[in-house]
């Protein structure tokens, strides 16, 4: 199992990695700090699941998902991980191409439910 994590805040990145390791201790987890780094990683590597923050410098989550879908033409399941709390943002995220959505602070049970479902895609 190979995961790509995209998150500009180092603390959040490590927390997410540790949370994933609980359910998938043998997973290969690649950490990137923004959409641009993730985009470059995706040009030469394939993953089973991509989890991405939305608000990031250089390239945000919306720009990244656009490239994943329209340019790289990947069908890899994608999960938006974001602090946006307003209900309308969830629809916006799903409309933009993300398959799933997890809100921050991340609830462990919710994360593992989403991981399980998205990896069956």
| Interface residues toward Mg ion, by CB under 5 A | 8, 53, 55-56
Q: Which is nearer to Mg ion, 61 or 77 (CB)?
A: 61
Choice between 60 and 99, CB closer to Mg ion: 60
Q: Which is nearer to Mg ion, 24 or 82 (CB)?
A: 82
| Residues 6 and 52 sit within 8 Å (Cβ to Cβ) | yes
- Least separation in angstroms between residue 56's CB and Mg ion is 5
Counting DSSP H helices and E strands in the chain, the numbers are: 5, 5
> Buried b vs exposed e over 76-105: b needs ≥16 C-beta within 10 Å?
bbbbbbbebeeeebbeebeebbbbbbbebe
Output the smallest distance, CB 77 to Mg ion, in A.
Answer: 21
Q: Least Å distance between CB 9 and Mg ion? A: 5
């Amino acid at each position: 199992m190979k995961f790509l994590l995209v998150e500009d805040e180092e603390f959040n990145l490590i927390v997410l990695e540790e949370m994933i390791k609980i359910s998938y201790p043998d997973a290969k987890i690649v950490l990137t700090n923004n959409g641009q780094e993730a985009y470059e990683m995706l040009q030469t590597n394939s993953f089973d699941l991509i989890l991405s923050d939305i608000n990031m410098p250089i390239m945000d989550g919306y720009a990244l998902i656009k490239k994943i879908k329209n340019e790289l033409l990947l069908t890899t399941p994608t999960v938006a991980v974001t602090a946006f709390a307003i209900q309308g943002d969830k629809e916006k995220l799903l409309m933009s191409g993300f398959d799933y959505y997890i809100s921050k602070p991340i609830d462990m049970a919710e994360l593992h439910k989403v991981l399980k479902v998205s990896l069956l895609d």
